[in-house]
Amino acid sequence: MDRLFKIFLLGVKELRSLWADPVLIVLIVYTFTFAIYAVATGANFEVENAAVAVVDEDRSMISARLRDALIEPFFKRPVLVNANEIDEVMDAGRFVFVIEIPPKFERDLIAGRRPTVQIDVDATAMSQAGNGASYIQNIITQEVAIAFPDSSSAQPLSLVVRAKFNPNLRSAWFTAVMQVINNVTMLAVILSGAALIREREHGTIEHLLVMPVTPIEIMLAKIWANGLVIVAAATLSLIVVVERLLGVPVAGSLALFVAATVLYQFSVTALGILVATFSTSMAQFGLLVMPMLVMMNLLSGSTTPMESMPGWLQNMMQMSPSTHFVALSQAILYRGADIRIVWPEMVMLSGIASLFFLIAALRFRKSLLNDR
């Protein structure tokens, strides 16, 4: 109990030090409020207000119908251009899509032939290009099938798609939650590392060295104090910003997510302390931690699916706690998974956290002895 009381008091000291640092306070508030809202509402992957041009060489009722089917908010009002202007307008970046309707298009449909409609796509915006081309293809197919139900160009079967967990296919539902998860990783590493470096820069590390506390107690205090701040901020952000402000439903248990976040904090805060033991200043710590955070966020499955990565990279990323945290967070928050589904990921998180803590504790002890 005496050791636990020491850890508690040291943690309170950490919280007071954090509260006295206005830059870090502003960073925490910004990261879990405006940064999440701005990215969720600004970084859209669906097609919205895409510029589209039409080369109508048929000038028939069906070609006019196809133009009228390209409606807002997915597309801007279609602009008619000539065939010899396609390269010019595409090179200038005026249009993302150019639809070429060939001559005698309506006559060929009536005769039962299968005419071809060409779609030129500016694929520099990959997400919008891929989704928009699919939208246009579906629009053309549906309009032709409605206008000529007996035409051979109609689809031989009816394909019904049902989207689960995100029925409206809104990217904000995915982006908002993933921003919370990624920001948990970033701030946990930064705050825990900054706590140690702040001790050195302010000269208070010497005070700790003469106190009747062990390096493990000092480290545990920094972990629980900074982890508490991150868990509380992430939970409030999930409730206030994601659920209330952005209207994103959380399907699963918030308590289970908080428990998983506590496990995750144990590993990433230890990682932050480990990196800080190799740094002598905040500038050096920032240079060391930036590439690590980029890799943990981009390759954890929060940006692209793990299945799309090479096999060797998937295996390597299994040693990253962020990979398992992203997997169980998506299962809980999106699909409503319970402990029976996510317990393997939580076991992996526990094992990785123990390993990181052991390595960080050994390095932290050696660093304090060197300072002594």
| Spatial separation of the C-alpha atoms in residues 314 and 4, rounded to whole Å | 39
List, for residues 127-182, the tens digit of each pLDDT value: 778 888 888 888 888 888 888 776 544 455 566 777 788 887 788 888 899 999 99
| Spatial separation of the C-alpha atoms in residues 248 and 349, rounded to whole Å | 26
Cis peptide before 115 (omega within 30 of 0): no
| Spatial separation of the C-alpha atoms in residues 191 and 181, rounded to whole Å | 16
Which pLDDT belongs to residue 230? 92
Output the CA–CA distances (angstroms, integers) from residue 310 to 126, 130, 305, 324, in the order listed.
21, 22, 11, 17
Which pLDDT belongs to residue 251? 87
| Spatial separation of the C-alpha atoms in residues 220 and 216, rounded to whole Å | 6
End-to-end CA distance of the chain: 27
pLDDT bin (cut points 50, 70, 90) of residue 368 is low
Which pLDDT belongs to residue 151? 57
- The yes-or-no verdict on residue 12 having pLDDT over 50 is yes
Domain limits of the chain?
2-43+170-371, 52-147
Question: What is the CATH code for 52-147?
Answer: 3.40.1710.10
The stretch 67-87 carries a mean pLDDT of: 88
- The yes-or-no verdict on residue 34 having pLDDT over 90 is yes
Cβ pair 221, 10 in contact under 8 A: yes
Which pLDDT belongs to residue 184? 92
User: Of residues 178 and 196, which shows the higher confidence score?
Assistant: 178
Which pLDDT belongs to residue 279? 83
Percentage above 70 pLDDT, the chain: 94
What is the DSSP secondary structure assignment for residue 76, as one 8-state letter? Answer: P
Which pLDDT belongs to residue 40? 86
pLDDT bin (cut points 50, 70, 90) of residue 21 is confident
Which pLDDT belongs to residue 370? 64
The stretch 229-242 carries a mean pLDDT of: 93
- The yes-or-no verdict on residue 110 having pLDDT over 90 is no
| Spatial separation of the C-alpha atoms in residues 246 and 261, rounded to whole Å | 22
| Spatial separation of the C-alpha atoms in residues 267 and 321, rounded to whole Å | 7
Which pLDDT belongs to residue 154? 47
Give just the sign of the alpha carbon dihedral 335, 340, 344, 348.
positive
The stretch 45-54 carries a mean pLDDT of: 83
User: What six digits make up the tokens of 31?
Assistant: 């990261």
- State the pTM of this model: 0.78
Q: How many CB atoms lie within 10 A of CB 225?
A: 24
Radius of gyration of the chain (CA): 28
| Burial letters 36-73, b for 16+ CB under 10 A, else e | bbebbeeeebbbeebbbbbbbebebebbeebbeebeee
Which pLDDT belongs to residue 233? 93
Question: Residue 86 — left, alpha, or beta (φ > 0 → left; ψ -120 to 50 → alpha)?
Answer: alpha
Which pLDDT belongs to residue 209? 66
Which pLDDT belongs to residue 240? 94
User: What six digits make up the tokens of 72?
Assistant: 């807002």
Average pLDDT, the chain: 85
SS3 readout for 163-184:
CCCCCCCCHHHHHHHHHHHHHH
Least confident of 76-85, 341-350, 360-369: 360-369
- The yes-or-no verdict on residue 238 having pLDDT over 90 is yes
Which pLDDT belongs to residue 157? 55
| Residues constituting the chain | 372
Which pLDDT belongs to residue 259? 92
- The yes-or-no verdict on residue 23 having pLDDT over 90 is no
